Structure 1
Amino acid sequence: MAQHLTGVFIPQCDADGNYKPVQCSGSTGYCWCVNSMGQEVAGTKNPPGRPPSNCVAAAPPKTKCEQERDSAIAKGMPGVFIPECDADGNYKPVQCSGSTGYCWCVNNMGQQIAGTNTPPGQPQPNCVAAACPKTKCQQERDNAMVKHLTGSFIPQCDMQGNYNPLQCWGSTGYCWCVDSTGQQTAGTKTPPGHPPPNC
């Protein structure tokens, strides 16, 4: 409104300061539905003279992040933490408190991931690594590799971090099958020089 530009679109807000579900352009006469971020809901734009779409049905329900964010904003209390949501309404992996300057990683439920809290002035935490904790197989493999013991068994993990069904001990030549927890399947151990078992 401060720009005083003729024909510019002026968003309509409700009594709580949120976007009204139906937005209309006074200059063009077009109306459309918007989500809680004010973004147009695809397929809801109507030309002048036609009643606006049923925006209650068109607008998806608010996500947990959007609800918490809107609730925190509505309180209007200085220093209150306001969650940051992405365009899809999910929690952003890094959350920061504007009042304290601390940043931390959260999971998809908005819960803080332990050990990621960083004070003001420090680089933001690496939430990609924090959000993907290592699997049991990856932990065992990494522990075995760190020890650098010649001839020790190193578990083999797949791309998702699960145990490969076939495990082989490089220094002994033995191979065997394992279940999803890495436990050896009875009767599958084959000695060196023999074909590995069909896991």
Structure 2
Amino acid sequence: MAALVLFLCFFTSFVVVSSDVVCENGFCRTHLLDAKNRCASTAPDCRYNNATHSGLNLPSPSLCNCCEYCLPLYQQNQDCSIGGPGDGITIGRCGHGLMCDEETRKCVRMKTKCHDLQDDYDERFSRGEVGAFEKRPYCDEKGKFAAFHCVPTQSCFCQSEDGERLFGEVLYTGPLQNMPCGCSRFHEKIKKIIDRKVQFPVAGPKCTSDGNFNPVQCVGRSCFCVNRITGERVGSNSIDLDEQKISDLSCYNEDLDLFPELFEGEPPYNYTTPCFMNIENKKKIIKESEEAGFIMDYFNTFDDMECLPDGTSSRVGRTANGSKICMNERSVRIGDYEAHPDTPEYKSMDCKCALTSLLMSSQASRPVCCKNGNFRPIQCYRGVCRCVDSDGRQVGKEQQNVRSLPCFTQDWQHC
């Protein structure tokens, strides 16, 4: 229960409209008329913002932030300080992707997994060993992985700061494509914060298939509108599902609702998914049984009922005979992908290729999948073949002779 309360505080604080305490209108204009209150000259870095000078415009540490303030961002190998009593020898900090070396007191590149992969890419590129569909990893200002990764001609998907694939995938449309993935990354943070031993699953904000926030969010029976990118609440209007349909909310979009039929009927109304409903029904059974004196330890597990960030069930389903199959967002089987128990294909099944292929159904060229819906380790395109990882990302340079690939096996076409 404590974890649930913690999450609700975390979630509601994330979606409410941000509000800053400000001074009285016109205060600064009057305040700065006094000569002793004149603003000091700011660092020029924010005005230049070129290869040698850059900075951040921030609220000044003056009364009511009346003055401008520029925090210089130092370049690689420039002097810096690490902070602490008596150590403040500079007024700025190292720029994005840099840190202050404790020994040399110079700005140096951060040591991160993303930067390491960038270095590996650059070394292989200099030797002509980079594949046509390989992309240099993009690292953010903290040296972490960008919010998404694209496989050219295929798709783009959300990823964590550590480079692990997350929920959210769209078609690849070009090198300038952007994919914020804020909702998908928020769900990952929830998983890290909420203890897995919590009795009941904790649902986070609802996402759309691209990893953004669904414009409609609900806490309990109250629903409201949010910004799709930031998740912050938009406006003050809300509806009560006990009396109003979700379609009465201005931001409701039926195209983003996978199960619009579930809110039809008489009040009280619903805005939910079959996966959420199954969890709520099981929670109700457990609570009623515990109140009746039954011990529910064996039954009290939701490992096989975890909902995805969009409220749907896992894309890997099970048949009556125990085999695994691939399913879409409405739990409808995809193709004939299947893996039988006690086989290596069963254990490793993730259906990523099956789902990407479904997303690309209107495209002329689609990835080749294994029988269990995973990416085939070797993909071929326009007469050349390449090795790919479990996410479909190219690994190494492509070859015309498939036997020259490091991932080649005699049965590479029959996985």
Q: Tell me which interval the TM-score lies in, with the shorter structure as reference length.
A: 0.3 to 0.5
Which structure shows the bigger proportion of residues in helix conformation? Answer: 2
TM-score of the pair, normalised by structure 1: 0.42
| Greater C-alpha Rg | 1
Which structure shows the bigger proportion of residues in strand conformation? Answer: 2
